[in-house]
Amino acid sequence: MNTQEALTLFREKQLRINSYRLALTTMNWDSSTIAPKKGADYRNHMMAILSGELFSLYIDPEYIKLIEQLAAADDLSETESIEMKQMLKELNKERNIPKDVFVKFAQLQRDGETIWEKAKETSDYPLFKPYLQKLIDGTKRNISYRNDTRSTYASLIDDFETDMTIEKYDEFFALVKEKLVPLIHAIKEANIPAPAFLSASVPIQQQRAVVELIREYLQYPKDAGLISESVHPFSSSFSAFDNRVTVRYHENNFTSSIFALIHEVGHATYNGQVNPEYQGRHIANSMTYGMHESQSRLYENMLGRSKAFWSSLYPKVVELVDALKDVSLDEFIFGINYVTAQFYRIEADELTYPLHVLVRYEIEKDLFEGNLTTEGLDEVWADKYESYLDIRPQSTSEGILQDVHWSGGAFGYFPTYALGSAYSAQFMNKMSQDLDIDKLMENNQFDQINGWLKDNIHTFGGLYTPEQLLLRITGETFNPSYYIDYLLNKYSELYKIKL
Amino acid sequence: MNTQEALTLFREKQLRINSYRLALTTMNWDSSTIAPKKGADYRNHMMAILSGELFSLYIDPEYIKLIEQLAAADDLSETESIEMKQMLKELNKERNIPKDVFVKFAQLQRDGETIWEKAKETSDYPLFKPYLQKLIDGTKRNISYRNDTRSTYASLIDDFETDMTIEKYDEFFALVKEKLVPLIHAIKEANIPAPAFLSASVPIQQQRAVVELIREYLQYPKDAGLISESVHPFSSSFSAFDNRVTVRYHENNFTSSIFALIHEVGHATYNGQVNPEYQGRHIANSMTYGMHESQSRLYENMLGRSKAFWSSLYPKVVELVDALKDVSLDEFIFGINYVTAQFYRIEADELTYPLHVLVRYEIEKDLFEGNLTTEGLDEVWADKYESYLDIRPQSTSEGILQDVHWSGGAFGYFPTYALGSAYSAQFMNKMSQDLDIDKLMENNQFDQINGWLKDNIHTFGGLYTPEQLLLRITGETFNPSYYIDYLLNKYSELYKIKL
């Protein structure tokens, strides 16, 4: 079979695989947003079977042979060649897992999420614990089939962020700790109380109206996107023209839904601005987790928490939200950047955020390296929060049970959150050389910002590694000092602290 | 392989099939309720592929052999034996369709629905016409593989309603025409104007509150059901514990969403009250269309438009809906039973409803028997409305494009709507001998009514044919006189007309 014949046959099989993936994406979305609870058992069972069907297609010897042939071919276009090499790499990760092991793990992932939801509601870590243990064991087992010489956690790290290592993360987090902790301490000592409006009661209906206002401002399209509600906000890419987000409304924390929205729309915009010719191909969605997070963080923090973002929006928000009647724009900006140690990662301010991630990174690493077990892990979690942030969660729902990730077996995911923030600072530095970002936001021209992101980052999908993209766009490889400097400058100024 | 071994293997394959069906059910639901429009092309393509995958499982020779063995086995339980014989009958309908024909038709069904939605929005019958033609041709072609000696339309009729024939429908509709048309004429001559509240402007938010009130009253469970919105209201059974409905809100026709809700919850309650041991088995969902419609019509008309239904509810509704402030309960009851010739089947009153169905039945029959073509069919439709109901639709969106059914290739479906209404009158007659229905509704004890329906009808799922069920419950086979008498009595009394 020549390369073109192989490619045609491969694309046909890829479309078939895509049909299963879209089915599971849709079922996941449905399950997380609107599905009635009592249907969960049957639904989880069916999804596990369908995941097994999908897995069978992934490990179909004919399909694998095509990928191998195409990854070795020298007469493909450059994008096709990169795509096939990426696919071969992915394939090698999973190809030796026996189907029954895979199906069992898929069922465990679904059960894990269902049990986690229940456990979170009632702060019942012991209910979740055996599932967490099984998920860790299952993950180790899955990775053992790879015959990788690295540790399980090293492999997981690389899965979520191409070319990342434990060593690089250790260095990065050491820098975060060294530079940021003193500033956080100084801010704590300044002892400035939280603005009252942050915890004011804001009816959900007013919050929905604000969310709709911001949707328009960000130019997140209604005919190619959707805003729904779920326990934990997330974004989900159905296809080039269907990229959705969820938020969650808290009556006494209305800025939560605002920044969840901006964050998730950052993800959705990334997927929605990939070259549409890539639709259905691996590179349409093979960006790393860190890269994806860089775009959501850039939206949420670099843009969404800036004064320019709100200058034209804020008067309209005040009209919608009674609790802001007497709050000036400057007070609002200070409030949405207010630094405080609290329990929830997704509610965390920009400055303490990487320490939330650090807690998870250290626990994951120790769990997989054998230095910790699930027994009493809720207490380990609480100890770390006490030691880094000087607060101790009083229940596991505000502690170890707050995040969905582990319940679905996603270990190695968390550190990409901090890394993404660091990438975003490096991209932002470059974008602000090319565009007058503040002026564009003040003039309600978010499309210009989206345009820059599209042309420089989004359109390429997952074609390039993070290091390649950073080099291509900013002229240098990953340099965490943009992130550290950005945080030090911004927060020392906001809190009038001399460093 | 002995029967028990065959049954075990069969159940395994059935579960696998179910996983595809739940996927497609979920994607259909998503597509009809919330999915962004621009994702339709890709989504339709993926759904067509997945339908093809499902079809391959249906026609897998091993699976077919198991069904054949089990349908012939004499050592199965009675329910299992009935189930397997039903499956063999279904199988024989589709087994000879080549896969490529099937996949192409599935894609056509999806495209048809997408195009229909567009055509309906702009009243553009010519846009839809070629798809309608292809859907008719495709349906004929699909049925041609059966080697059935009956006409295509006769086969379609039997597909939607076991053991029904064109002759029986012709007789039934002749009776409907003979008995009801004079009453409709007399009511028209009485010339009583429509109560103004029917077309009053009622904000969607007030309508939503009423819908929620009725949901509670009907005891439609939140943890096993869901109310969403779509262009055309429908119900969808995901599993034993997940049965959903949609409604549509019209600002100037607020009773529309109320009766759409009651109707669709009638369907959802049927599915939700099937013996849960049947979950995932063919008989859980093999009730005929007429039987299903009998339960929704019983809810919507026999119960939902009665005075007893509203006696305790109505004061609460008045609190929610400003437009009802000065409307008495009796005026409301007259209004929701007001008889008028208008264009939309789903908005039709109970009395003119069967004539809407008749128009569709006659057109379908003539299309398939070769007495009509799609060319100019919008005019044929308009002519029939003028001749039966004395009104002529001025656009195709209020004419031939109003219903979704044909756009998905569902021919032979419509007549079951009228038949279901007729079944429901026969069931209602029996239920009113066993229960004091009015008192139960007045006392807010809808669970007792649901209990009767469950024990007598719902729990059996599709185990029995309509005739078997009617005989079992009412002591006689289908007798349309209950329906005719019910309508004649109710409406002659309401309009004070001597027959």
Reported ipTM: the value is 0.89
Secondary structure class of A242 (helix, strand, coil): strand
Q: Are strands A242-247 and B225-229 parallel, antiparallel or unpaired?
A: unpaired
Main-chain phi, psi angles of A242, to 5 degrees: -150, 90
Examine the pLDDT at B444 and tell me if it is beyond 90: yes
Beta bridge partners, A243, equal A225, A237
Which of B231, B224, B290 lies closest to B260, judged by CA? B231
Spatial separation of the C-alpha atoms in residues A247 and A224, rounded to whole Å: 17
Spatial separation of the C-alpha atoms in residues B87 and B42, rounded to whole Å: 32
Q: What are the residues of chain A with a beta carbon less than 8 Å away from any beta carbon of chain B?
A: 15-16, 18-20, 22-24, 26-27, 29-30, 34-39, 41-43, 45-47, 49-50, 53, 221-226, 228, 238-242, 244, 279-280
The partner residue sitting opposite A19, judged by closest CB among B39, B46, B241, is B46
Secondary structure class of A236 (helix, strand, coil): strand
- Tell me which H or E stretch contains B42: helix B40-58
Mean pLDDT throughout A204-217? 98
Q: Which residue has the tokens 């099939």?
A: B17
B27 contacts A244? CB cut-off 8 A: no
The predicted pLDDT at position B94 comes to 85
Closest residue of chain A to B53, computed from CA coordinates: A16
Beta bridge partners, B237, equal B243
**Residue B147 — pLDDT band, cuts 50, 70, 90?**
confident
Closest residue of chain A to B50, computed from CA coordinates: A19
Q: Are strands A235-239 and A242-247 parallel, antiparallel or unpaired?
A: antiparallel
Closest residue of chain B to A41, computed from CA coordinates: B241
Spatial separation of the C-alpha atoms in residues A29 and A244, rounded to whole Å: 9
Which one from B264, B293, B300, B364 is the annotated catalytic residue?
A: B264
Spatial separation of the C-alpha atoms in residues A293 and A302, rounded to whole Å: 13
Residues of A in contact with B246 (CB under 8 A): none
The predicted pLDDT at position B390 comes to 87
DSSP codes of every residue in B367-408: HHHTS--STTHHHHHHHHHHHHHS---SSTTTTTTS-SGGGG
A264 labelled catalytic: yes
Examine the pLDDT at B346 and tell me if it is beyond 90: no
Examine the pLDDT at A423 and tell me if it is beyond 90: yes
Residues of B in contact with A279 (CB under 8 A): 42
B414 contact partners, CB below 8 Å, separation of at least 6: B357, B360, B361, B364, B403, B405
The partner residue sitting opposite A39, judged by closest CB among B16, B41, B242, is B242
Spatial separation of the C-alpha atoms in residues A121 and A115, rounded to whole Å: 10
Spatial separation of the C-alpha atoms in residues A493 and A351, rounded to whole Å: 13
Closest residue of chain B to A225, computed from CA coordinates: B36
The predicted pLDDT at position A102 comes to 87
The predicted pLDDT at position B59 comes to 86
Beta bridge partners, B236, equal B244
Report the residue count for chain A: 499
Spatial separation of the C-alpha atoms in residues A320 and A418, rounded to whole Å: 33
**CA distance to partner chain B, nearest, from residue A410 (Å):** 24
**Residue pair A179/A480 in contact by the 8 Å Cβ criterion:** no
Examine the pLDDT at A498 and tell me if it is beyond 90: no
Eight-state DSSP code of residue A188: H
Which one from A83, A113, A161, A264 is the annotated catalytic residue?
A: A264
The predicted pLDDT at position A388 comes to 87
Torsion sign, CA atoms A78, A79, A82, A87? negative
Digit-coded pLDDT (tens) for B203-230: 999 999 999 999 999 999 999 999 999 9
**Residue pair B293/B419 in contact by the 8 Å Cβ criterion:** yes
Main-chain phi, psi angles of A203, to 5 degrees: -55, 140
Eight-state DSSP code of residue A407: G
Mean pLDDT throughout B138-160? 95
Dihedral of the alpha carbons of A95, A99, A104, A109, in degrees to the nearest 10: 40
**CA distance to partner chain A, nearest, from residue B280 (Å):** 9
The partner residue sitting opposite B239, judged by closest CB among A16, A42, A221, is A42
**Residue pair A333/A346 in contact by the 8 Å Cβ criterion:** no
Torsion sign, CA atoms B321, B324, B330, B333? negative
Which of A363, A389, A386, A361 lies closest to A374, judged by CA? A363
Which of A265, A309, A298 lies closest to A430, judged by CA? A298
The predicted pLDDT at position A330 comes to 97
Q: How far is CA A431 from the centre of its chain?
A: 22
- Tell me which H or E stretch contains B243: strand B242-247
Digit-coded pLDDT (tens) for A116-167: 999 999 999 999 999 999 999 999 999 999 988 999 999 999 999 999 999 9
Digit-coded pLDDT (tens) for A427-460: 999 999 999 999 999 999 999 999 999 999 999 9
The predicted pLDDT at position A484 comes to 95
Residues of B in contact with A29 (CB under 8 A): 30
Higher confidence at residue B329 or residue B147? B329
The predicted pLDDT at position B181 comes to 87
Residues of B in contact with A26 (CB under 8 A): 23, 26-27, 30
Which of A339, A345, A233, A218 lies closest to A270, judged by CA? A218
Digit-coded pLDDT (tens) for A297-343: 999 999 999 999 999 999 999 999 999 999 999 999 999 999 999 99
A108 contact partners, CB below 8 Å, separation of at least 6: A131, A134, A135, A138, A409
The whole-chain average pLDDT of chain B stands at 96
**Residue pair A99/A56 in contact by the 8 Å Cβ criterion:** yes
- Scanning A254-324, the segments in alpha helix (DSSP H) are 254-272, 289-297, 307-311, 314-320
Half-sphere exposure of B494 (CA within 13 A, CB side): 26
The predicted pLDDT at position A95 comes to 83
Instruction: Output b/e per residue, A394-425; b: 16+ Cβ within 10 A.
Output: ebbbbbbbbbbbbbbbbbbbbbbbbbbbbbbb
